[in-house]
Chains A and B, each alone.
Chain A
Amino acid sequence: MIEIRNLSFARGNDLIFKNISLEVKHGEMMVLKGANGQGKTTLLSNILNFLDPLEGEIIYDGRVIDNAISSKYFLYIGENNFAYDELSLNDNIKYWLAVHNVNFSQEVRDKSIKFLFDELNLNKKFYQLSYGQKKKLQLLLLMLVNKPVWILDDPFNGLDNKTIEKIIILLTKKLENNGLILISSHQDVLTLEHKIFQL
């Protein structure tokens, strides 16, 4: 369970949010909503321990979140691309799975790629992909890296309806497996049961 108690965050003299408290249990999904600049990404960054809050604490399964906890339990897909433009898709997949210390069989990897892309030339360079394809390649990590908590920043942005449906299938399976999901999103595309937190 992720529990946030009286969290406040300031950047310089700007108070981004104040006294936020929320709770998400395993098997639940929470969607953070709010206009641009309300601090959705900043709140996610606080939960991931990328940023230090001004006040308050964030607890995961009874322990205050630190680097060790976030790297062991959290998988994060942000808005920006993290893959290397100059590497092929195949090399990018191998590289980022190695970074996350994941071993996979060729069969599992091919199945996952087939599920998300239908068809994909893995020898293409990352920069040759469209915006949506780049996003999908990053979302592939959701299928290959096994961590109990998914934190996704605007995951549906730039994706077509068919891909959104596939991502919803992944989210459903994650919740069935007692996973915990935190999403920030502008779009109301989620057909799944979820909690909403308005910033």
Chain B
Amino acid sequence: MIKNFLKLIKNEFLLMLRGSIFTIVLFSLLLIASSIFSLAIRNITYDIEITIAFLWIIIFFISLIKVEKVYANDFSEAKLQQYILSPFALEIIVFIKNIMIYLNLIFVFIIFSPLILIILGVQLSYLIPINLLLILSLLSIIFISSMTASITISKNNKLSITSVLTLPLFVPILIFSMALTEIVDFQISKLYLFFIAYFLLNLAFSPLLTSFALKRLSV
């Protein structure tokens, strides 16, 4: 079982690598959006929290698009039926896929981040704290997005609108990310623990809800 579990992870990693082009395209769009944002507010004095808020909202949408794309392909009806008949619980497969999406997004973001910060006019001394903040918060964002995606890709289009119910779960991440910049100016703080705690909270119910929605709505 463990041998096959490791094989499964290895193959999911392979699949993730093949999906990297799409991630790069999404981050290229982030570069364009950042350029437009910088141009739009070039004459206004603003704090770094505004930039962080902008960045996090865009990254949330990028994650949502990426997760939906992966889920629409990897949890098509025929594949999902095989996953359900697998000895591995669907929750575990959902978890592995989410972690692979996370690694894919975080890796590409780390490559793109210096350029993004330069475009947004943020000092490069913030590079490591912003990357660290994203490494911590993106885990929760991916797991929240997976719940949204599992409803959005369902056969019943009328239910798609209910996926917006998961969006408020993103708000605490945004608030704490902004608070972290305001209160401690990115110094290592207990506030970082919030992201770990929030991820653990998401981890407790997100794979369960995602796989429940996939089983009930997509087969």
A interface residues (Cβ-Cβ under 8 A, vs B): 45, 48, 50-51, 67, 70-72, 74-76, 78-82, 84, 86-87, 91, 94-103
In the bound complex, what is the Cα–Cα distance between A91 and B8 (angstroms)? 11
Tell whether, in the assembled complex, residue B77 and residue A80 are in contact, meaning their CB atoms are under 8 Å apart. Answer: yes
Some 5 contacts from A to B, beta carbons below 8 A apart, are A76-B85, A82-B79, A91-B14, A97-B4, A99-B86
Task: Write the nearest CB–CB distance from A16 to chain B, whole angstroms.
Answer: 15
- Lowest 3 A-B CB distances belong to which pairs? A80-B78, A98-B7, A82-B78
Among residues of B, the one whose C-beta sits closest to the C-beta of A95 is: B11
A145 to chain B, nearest CB (A): 9
Q: Is B65 an interface residue when CB atoms closer than 8 A count as contact?
A: no
B111 at the interface (CB under 8 A from A): no
- How many angstroms from the CA of A71 to the CA of B4 in the assembled complex? 16
**Distance, CA A155 to CA B187, complexed state (A):** 62
Minimum CB–CB distance for A74 against chain B, Å: 6
Query: Contact between B86 and A100 (Cβ–Cβ < 8 Å)?
Result: yes
Instruction: Give residues 114-152 of B contacting A (CB, 8 Å).
Output: none
- A71 contacts B15, C-beta separation under 8 Å: no
Q: Pick the residue among B1, B11, B18, B81 that contacts A101 (CB under 8 A).
A: B1
- Chain A residues near B7 (CB-CB < 8 A): 94-95, 98
Contact B82 A82 (CB under 8 A): yes
> B84 contacts the other chain (Cβ, under 8 Å)?
yes
State whether the Cβ of B176 lies closer than 8 Å to any Cβ in chain A.
no
Q: Which residues of A contact B4 (CB under 8 A)?
A: 97-98, 101-103
Bound complex: CA A96 to CA B8 (Å): 9
Nearest Cβ distance between residue A154 and chain B, in whole angstroms? 13
Q: Do A99 and B14 have beta carbons less than 8 Å apart?
A: no
CA distance A99 to B12 in the complex (A): 11
Point out the residues of chain B lying under 8 angstroms from A45, CB to CB. Answer: 219
Cβ–Cβ contact A99 & B18, under 8 A: no
Contacts of A80 in B (CB 8 A): 76-78
Check A51 against B219 for contact (C-beta < 8 Å): yes
Say how far A61's CB is from chain B's closest CB, in angstroms: 17
CA distance A41 to B81 in the complex (A): 13
Tell me the minimal C-beta distance from B219 to chain A in angstroms: 4
